[in-house]
């Protein structure tokens, strides 16, 4: 299949530019498009033909449900059952934006979209292209991240092209995304909201709006929780992972740098290709041929935005061993560490 690639300026575009993409969506084709979190691979959420194409293009296990994207709040009542007062409050506070809510599903949502579950994940994105695409096509768009299953999520059109060129109808290139990590997922189908995946919207931000919020035990901690099954099916799969063997090194900054330099030296002696994921503050202190700065510790947002690009670059550089610094496990840091821990397959080294 030939994939059409269309550049659109998110700050300045018109209906005409989205026409082809809308036609594709209306006829059960697939369009990758930018959102404020990561690029999504979109298809009609209410048509099993479109969702089965999404699973096939990504190589995604069919029990891993898709998020349904809407462009106005009223749409929730068409696809979700029992929208609680807390859910309403969260929608008012954080939509459009990087928060997904899980509701009991209505019958019109096919099981192929929800991975066989009786619940449905819904989000209203704030990215102008995503918004307009949903509005203009009139389609509720099922859109998981537009990457090959298991690889880091795409934060630029180039990443989507790398994974999906030739497998989908169209890729809209709207430049680099703003946030760079997937949405926060909150299950609002019970009395107390439960975070199933950490993201840009933190537990504290949610609590300010609805009071107590729980966190799914499967996503807490640095050790793989063997006996707890993650409530968001996607969280149980190996994810975001570069091809090389990645480890996160923890401790005081000076100790971390010393430890990583020792490890690098040992790999070099064996002729192995090794890379370091550092920060603006530390990047000049490593004695390694490949050092990449993920962003500045003074700005967690820059680290979130840079993470997946760096993980993909590690593959391009053919790094066999990758050592990364660790980050604070609060606020946005908990979302960053959640992704890094999975990328490193729970591999920690204490410095």
Among residues 194, 196, 288, 304, the one that binds ligand AMP under rule CB under 6 A: 196
- Residue carrying the six token digits 């993909």: 312
Return the one option of Mg ion, ligand AMP, none that residue 241 interacts with (CB less than 5 to 8 A, by type): none
Among ligand AMP, Mg ion, none, residue 231 binds (CB under 5-8 Å by kind): ligand AMP
Closest separation in Å from C-beta 182 to Mg ion: 6
Contacting Mg ion within 96-155 (CB under 5 A) = 145
Residue with the shortest CB distance to Mg ion: 145
Length of the chain: 351
20 binds, among ligand AMP, Mg ion, none (CB under 5 to 8 A by kind): none
Distance from C-alpha of 96 to C-alpha of 87, rounded to nearest angstrom = 14
* Burial tier of 96 (Cβ tally within 10 Å: 0-12, 13-18, 19+): buried
Residue 114 as a binder of ligand AMP (CB under 6 A): the answer is yes
Ranges of H-type helices in the chain = 19-26, 48-58, 76-79, 85-94, 111-114, 128-137, 157-164, 203-210, 253-269, 300-316, 332-343
User: Which residues are 105's β-sheet partners?
Assistant: 80
* Rounded Cα gap, residues 40 and 34, in angstroms: 6
Backbone φ, ψ for residue 11 (5° rounding): -85, -20
Q: Which residues, in sequence order, are bridge partners of residue 197? A: 185
Which residues within the stretch 220-259 sit at the binding site for ligand AMP (CB under 6 A)? 231-235
307 binds ligand AMP (CB under 6 A): no
Asked whether position 189 contacts ligand AMP by CB under 6 A, the answer is: no
Q: What is the CA radius of gyration of the chain?
A: 20
The listed partner (Mg ion, ligand AMP, none) that binds 65, CB under 5 to 8 Å by sort, is: ligand AMP
Stretch of 14-22, 59-67, 71-79, 202-210 lying at the interface with ligand AMP (CB under 6 A):
59-67
The answer to whether 184 contacts Mg ion (rule: CB under 5 A) is no
Q: Encoding tokens for residue 242?
A: 């570069």
DSSP 303: H
63 to 102: interface string for ligand AMP, x by CB under 6 A:
-xx-x----------------------------------x
For residue 217, the 8-state DSSP code is G
Q: Is residue 30 within 8 Å of 20, Cβ to Cβ?
A: no
Positions that interact with Mg ion (CB under 5 A): 145
Positions that interact with ligand AMP (CB under 6 A): 64-65, 67, 102, 114, 117, 119-121, 144-145, 182, 185, 196-197, 231-235
């Amino acid at each position: 299949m030939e994939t059409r690639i269309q550049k659109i300026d998110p700050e300045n575009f018109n209906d005409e530019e989205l026409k082809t993409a809308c036609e594709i969506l209306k006829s059960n084709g697939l369009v990758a498009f930018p959102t404020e979190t990561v690029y999504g691979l979109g298809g009609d959420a209410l048509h099993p033909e479109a969702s089965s194409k999404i699973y096939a293009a990504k190589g995604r296990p069919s029990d891993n449900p898709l998020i349904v994207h809407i462009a106005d709040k009223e749409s929730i009542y068409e696809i979700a059952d029992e929208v609680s007062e807390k859910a309403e409050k969260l929608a008012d506070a954080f939509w459009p934006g990087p928060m997904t809510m899980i509701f009991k599903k209505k019958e019109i949502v096919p099981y192929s979209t929800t991975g066989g579950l009786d619940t449905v994940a819904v989000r209203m994105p704030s990215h102008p292209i995503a918004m307009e695409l949903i509005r203009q096509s009139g389609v509720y768009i099922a859109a998981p991240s537009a990457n090959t299953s298991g690889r880091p999520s795409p934060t630029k059109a180039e990443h989507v092209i790398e994974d999906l060129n030739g497998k989908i109808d169209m890729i809209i290139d709207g430049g680099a995304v703003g946030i760079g990590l997937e949405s926060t997922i909150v299950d609002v189908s019970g009395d107390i909201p439960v975070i199933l995946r950490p993201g840009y919207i933190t537990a504290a931000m949610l609590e300010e709006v609805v009071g107590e919020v729980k966190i799914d035990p499967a996503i807490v901690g640095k050790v793989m929780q063997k006996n707890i099954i993650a409530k968001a099916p996607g969280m149980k799969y190996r994810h975001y992972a570069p091809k090389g063997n990645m480890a996160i090194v923890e401790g005081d900054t000076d100790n971390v740098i010393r430890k990583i330099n020792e490890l690098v030296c040992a790999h070099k002696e064996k002729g192995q290709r090794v890379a370091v994921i550092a920060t603006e503050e530390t990047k000049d202190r490593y004695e390694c041929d490949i050092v990449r700065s993920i962003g500045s510790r003074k700005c967690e947002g820059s680290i979130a935005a840079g993470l997946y690009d760096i993980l993909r670059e590690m593959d391009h550089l053919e790094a066999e061993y990758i050592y990364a610094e660790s980050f604070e496990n609060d606020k946005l840091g908990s979302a960053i560490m959640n992704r890094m821990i999975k990328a490193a397959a729970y591999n920690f080294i204490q410095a």
